[in-house]
Structure 1
Amino acid sequence: MAALVVGLSAGPAGAAGAVGAAASTSIQPATALSTAALAATPRATCDTRWGTGAKGNLPVSLSRNNHLTGVRAGRHSCFDRVVVDLDGTLANKGYSVRYVRSVTQDGSGNRVPLRGGAAIAVVIGAPAYDAKGQPTYRPRNPAELVNTRGFRTLRQAAFAGSFEGQTTLGLGVTKRTPMRAFVLRGTDGDRLVIDIAHR
């Protein structure tokens, strides 16, 4: 039983402003957010010394009564952003974001083709389907979760499966640049935010 999801949101202190409202749980294609929705930061103030090491933990901790509901992306003057929307609370160790040689599908182990010179695997401890096996988010094209036209670093976001309570996404990026990941808590559900620096 597989489905897929992701979303966009605000950053921690000192990061870009909010990136729009939470994604709808209806079956709709995800689209890139307007650049007007992101706060512009002068290049001189960019501080993206986040490193390229893994963020989060493996194996991820699974969340109860929490599901993926949307995937969004947005552009910032210093980085490109992907946000995974959820309808509940993500466990404290409920995600892993890391550079990998290739992203593989949950279950089958097949390689997920991704554009760009580097790949990021995103594993989230929440399924993209409910207790009855119905998808909580279903994009029109699992290989193209967001529109990356005009993005400087992000080249592709793809669904790699949802299996046994966790979901995997693959991000294709231009090259291995600093990146960070963090969780934003919200009354309508948490958001996993992933920022990939332009350089």
Structure 2
Amino acid sequence: MRRIPAALAAAGLLILAGCSQNGGGTAAPTTAPSAAPPATTSTAPTTSAGPPASTTAPPSSTAPPGTTSPAPTSTPGTPGCPAPGWGTGAKEAAGSTTDALYLVRIGRHDCYDRVVFSINGPASTGYSVSYVPLVTADASGKPLPVAGGAVLQVVVRAPEQGADTSGHQPGRILAATGDYFYPSAQLASWPSLRAVRFAGFFEGQCTFAVGTRAKLPFRVFTLLDRVNQVRLVVLDIAH
């Protein structure tokens, strides 16, 4: 019988042992555990805060972007915008001030268009706002028509800038009677507002013609801008 060299026998034993451990001679591949995807965080949208509340201002919700006017509330006729206290009837507040009316601004909001009359002082200010067939110049009585299906006559019981010594910008007159602050061409795409025109200053009060798309519900209130210490008369016209 032929003898097998001892070295070859030992090598054969090692090969057999290796195959039996790997279950068929092929090593099972190993896979490194996959790292979990990085966590994502969402940032809640921020809203700009409006000015501090006034005792004369109605309740509000979110603040309008980029204005010092009060936070918006909802409006009749708009889904999700109930707003008690709005209507088409005349609205009035007693009182007057000798501080000058120096600025007129407008703004668009989700449920309404806004006109803000800024007065150079913190004192309470009276107003009278109502729908009329036609606004006339104060005191000449000259007709001052404006674009729109309806017109609001807005009376703010404060002198115009330039008519006294308390103006925000001394020497600058607010406007001449008949001047447009915002003409119809600028407001053609707005939901409610159509024009804002100055109807004059007479006997301590300023009058404006505010053209609207139709006879829409509106509200009026005053607000103290505590940052600048000026009184705001705010007119909101529902969409």
TM-score by length of 2: 0.62
State how far apart, in whole Å, the 1-side matches of 2:131 and 2:61 are: 22
2:233 maps to 1:192: yes
State how far apart, in whole Å, the 1-side matches of 2:147 and 2:62 are: 26
1:22-49 Cα distance to aligned partner (Å, 9 max, x none): 69xxxxxxxxxxxxxx879795321244
Deviation at 1:120, TM superposition (A): 0.1
Structure 1 residue 163 displacement after superposition: 1.6
SS in 1 for 2:79: helix
Question: Relative to structure 1, is the Cα distance of residues 193 and 84 closer, same or farther in structure 2, using a 3 angstrom cutoff?
Answer: same
Question: Counterpart amino acid of 2:87?
Answer: G
- The amino acid across from 2:81 in the alignment is C
Q: In 2 relative to 1, CA 153–165 (structure 1 residues): closer, same or farther, beyond 3 Å?
A: same
CA RMSD of aligned residues (A): 3.0
Among residues 59, 63, 67, which one is paired with 1:13 in the alignment? 59
Q: Give me the identity figure in percent.
A: 35
Per the alignment, in what secondary structure is the counterpart of residue 180 of structure 1? Answer: strand
For residues 137 and 90 of structure 1, the distance between their equivalents in structure 2, rounded to whole angstroms, comes to: 19
Match of 2:120 in 1: 87
Q: Is contact 1:115-1:172 (8 Å) kept?
A: yes
- Larger Cα Rg: Structure 1 or Structure 2? 2
Aligned residue among 163, 171, 174 for 1:137: 174
Using the alignment, how far apart are the partners of 2:115 and 2:157 within structure 1? 17
Aligned pairs, number: 171
2:180 alignment partner AA: A
User: What is the rounded CA distance, in whole Å, between the counterparts of 1:52 and 1:73 in structure 2?
Assistant: 20
Query: What's the offset of the Cα at 1:150?
Result: 2.5
Match of 1:61 among 95, 110, 113: 95
Partners of 1:99 and 1:195 lie apart in 2 by: 14
- The question of whether the paired residues in 1 share the 8 Å contact of 2:124 and 2:231 is answered with no
Write the deviation string for residues 61-117 of structure 1: whole angstroms up to 9, x where unpaired. 3312x111111111112111111111113435x111111111111111111110011
Distance 1:136 1:21 in 2: 23
TM-score normalized with structure 1 length = 0.73
In the alignment, structure 1 segments of 5+ residues that lack a partner are: 1-8, 24-37
Q: Give the SS at the match of 2:63.
A: coil
Question: Does residue 1:173 correspond to 2:212, yes or no?
Answer: yes
1:172/1:90 Cα in 2 relative to 1: closer, same or farther (>3 Å)? farther
